């Protein structure tokens, strides 16, 4: 995420989902800062790595919320089987 990305170029996906293409990491970081968002490495194993401009805090919160809902549903299923 952000300054932890230590490659020369990345394949960039904009915050609205559009593909920007292959750009320098410094340019991608500038674009993310302009939008007051984070540059997050999505697919690190590819050459060049795929990065997306997103609100990482919001993304993390929504994932955590989704996991809690799945856990709640699985507990309800267990109770109904008994």
pLDDT tens sequence across 21-37: 999 999 999 999 999 99
Segments making up each domain of the chain, as ranges: 2-81
Average pLDDT, the chain: 88
Residues 57-73 have a mean pLDDT of: 89
pLDDT for 80 beyond 90: no
- pTM score over 0.75: no
81 pLDDT exceeds 70?
Answer: no
Give residue 3's pLDDT.
78
Alpha-carbon span 41 to 45, nearest angstrom: 10
CATH fold of 2-81, please?
Answer: Ubiquitin-like (UB roll) (3.10.20)
């Amino acid at each position: 995420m952000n300054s932890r990305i230590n490659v020369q170029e990345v394949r960039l996906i904009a915050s609205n989902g559009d593909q920007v293409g292959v750009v320098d990491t410094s340019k991608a970081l500038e674009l993310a800062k302009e939008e007051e968002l984070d540059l997050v490495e999505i697919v690190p194993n590819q050459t060049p790595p795929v990065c997306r401009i997103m609100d990482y805090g919001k993304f993390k919160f929504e994932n955590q919320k989704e996991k809690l809902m799945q856990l709640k549903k699985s507990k309800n299923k267990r109770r109904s089987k008994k």
